[in-house]
Structure 1
Amino acid sequence: MAETRALLTRAAAQLVAAGIDSPQLDARRLLAHVLRVEPGRLLLIDSVTPAQAAEFELLVTRRAEREPLQHLTGVAYFRHVELEVGPGVFVPRPETEVMTGWAIDRLRELVQSGAQPVVVELCAGSGAISKAIADEIPGCEQYAVEVSADALAWAERNLAATEIRLQLGDMADALPELDGTVDLVIANPPYIPLEAYESVTPEVRDHDPFVALFSGDDGLDAMRVLCEVGARLLRPGGWLCAEHAEVQAESAPAVFVADGRYGQVRDHRDLTDRPRFVTARRRG
């Protein structure tokens, strides 16, 4: 039998040496995954079997090689929902939770006014945003669009218990039957400039899908498409919100200002007080 505390101490030291940002947290989550318990219950477990220790040490080694924690456990958490993730789909990030919360607040206002909001998520990936909206604002008419078949397979699993209408396709020509009727368009599009490729952390660059990360020389190619699609889908007064890179605090909102079909263009900060997403309202 191996002592739990000693295992965690050695694992954390290995992850520190590998440059992992949250070594203690990752070690606890990996051991909890192996033992099939909540991380908070690890303090109640004094020792583990040799087989469990070997499985844990293998996972720690893979994490030290910068394989994403969520790929190792198969689970990602987003606001109040749990998601299945793995190779082929973008792992949802805490930063996106703030934008989703902003959108949920707008939808709650519509529901309180007696409306049944129509919501479209573009670049849906794992379906994290759509699932969170369905969890917190039930009763919306929801659609989600994803261009990658690999990512769509994960979204299908995550949204299977919902009534969200999920489809494979390019956002540029998605959902023409909804033109002019949508209350909210939301997206976490690819936005990393190609020139920043080498600076992206290995967990992201080597494991998240390229199509979900990079978007032209300035990172705004997808944002420009999103601006066009939003103007087509949204009803007058409908909202669009989209995530962007920290360095795009001015350039991302400028896309919507220059378009002319949007008003109330604002930029917003995330949990770390970094510029993170833009919102705009379709003019009448």
Structure 2
Amino acid sequence: MAQIKQLLVEAETILALAKIENPKLDSQLLLSELLQISRTELLLQSEVTLEQSTIFNDQIKQRCDHRPIQYITGVAYFRYLTLRVGEGVLIPRPETEELVSGVIEKINAADRPITLIDLGSGSGAIALAVAYEIPDVKVIAVENCEAALIWLKKNAELVAPHVEVILADVNNFAVAKKVDFVTANPPYLPQAEILPKEVEDFEPAAALRGGGDGMEIPNQFILCAARILKSGGYFAIEHGEHQGESIKIALNNYFAEVTVHYDLTGRPRWTSAIRNDLEVSN
């Protein structure tokens, strides 16, 4: 057996020497996830098996290389969901939960039936959260990266098997019948933006970078949303905190009631809009 307190102290020291930002928190998160208990319960226990100790020490070595905790444990938590993640798919961020809250509020006030398409679905965080919390909504998750699609399909099977998963690119994705809601969390970071090592070295650049100024890919998502949304349909798109005005401009042609939404610190993080009746020109 190995003593939990000693394991955590040693792990914290190792992570601190590797210049990991939150060594104490990361040590506790990794060990509590390994033992499948809460951090509070972890501090009340005294011992782990030698096998568990070996696995934990290996995880600490991985974290020293700045590998994200979610990739080490294989899970990411998003609203009420436990999603499977790994190399090849973007790790869901807490900020995206605010977009989901806004969309769910609108869905709850809308007439049925409802179809929602999530563009650039990645791990499926947005699509699966909506499908899980409002089961009567038809949800379609669209993703163009085959590596991410593996994780999307895994998560859909575990969380909401009724979600339709489609491999497609937003530039040529089309629907036979226009839909009521579209959500999107496109790559929106400017090409030159400096990222933390654990993001830059591990998470897929294609899911992060939105082109030179960060708006090239969001513009493609906006045009796709305009094509597939019915008149009066609701669109929600996540973006960077400095892109609120650029997103508003990009939405002007085909959308009305453009509204920028702010996070708890007052930063603009996502925008909603209502599809107007102007046809998309080819």
The two structures have a TM-score, normalised by structure 2, of: 0.92
Please list every run of 5 or more consecutive structure 2 residues that lacks an aligned counterpart in the other structure: 278-282
Quote the Cα distance in structure 1 between the aligned partners of 2:121 and 2:221.
13
Q: What is the deviation of 1:272?
A: 3.7
Distance of aligned partners of 1:162 and 1:175 in 2 relative to their CA distance in 1, 3 Å threshold: farther
The residue number in structure 2 matching 1:282 is: 275
1:182 aligns with 2:175: no
Quote the Cα distance in structure 1 between the aligned partners of 2:267 and 2:41.
34
The two structures have a TM-score, normalised by structure 1, of: 0.91
User: 8 Å contact 2:119–2:182 — kept in the other structure?
Assistant: yes
Q: Percent sequence identity over matched residues?
A: 37
Where 1:192 maps in the other structure, the secondary structure is coil
Distance of aligned partners of 1:9 and 1:274 in 2 relative to their CA distance in 1, 3 Å threshold: farther
Distance of aligned partners of 1:162 and 1:271 in 2 relative to their CA distance in 1, 3 Å threshold: farther
Residue type of the partner of 1:93? R
Residue type of the partner of 1:200? L
- Partner of residue 208 from structure 1, selected from 193, 203, 219: 203
The residue number in structure 1 matching 2:133 is: 136
Q: What is the deviation of 1:12?
A: 2.4
Quote the Cα distance in structure 2 between the aligned partners of 1:19 and 1:176.
49
Matching of residues 150-189 of structure 1 within 5 Å = 150-160=147-157, 161-178=160-177, 181-189=178-186
**CA offsets per residue over residues 32-70 of structure 1, 9 Å max, x none?**
233243333212320223332222122112112110100
Q: What is the deviation of 1:105?
A: 0.8
Please list every run of 5 or more consecutive structure 1 residues that lacks an aligned counterpart in the other structure: none
What is the RMSD of the two structures over their aligned residues, measured on CA atoms?
1.6
Distance of aligned partners of 1:271 and 1:15 in 2 relative to their CA distance in 1, 3 Å threshold: farther
User: 8 Å contact 1:95–1:271 — kept in the other structure?
Assistant: no
1:22 aligns with 2:17: no
Identify, as 1 or 2, the structure richer in helix: 1
Distance of aligned partners of 1:115 and 1:253 in 2 relative to their CA distance in 1, 3 Å threshold: same
Matching of residues 115-134 of structure 1 within 5 Å = 115-134=112-131
User: 8 Å contact 1:67–1:207 — kept in the other structure?
Assistant: yes
The residue number in structure 2 matching 1:270 is: 263
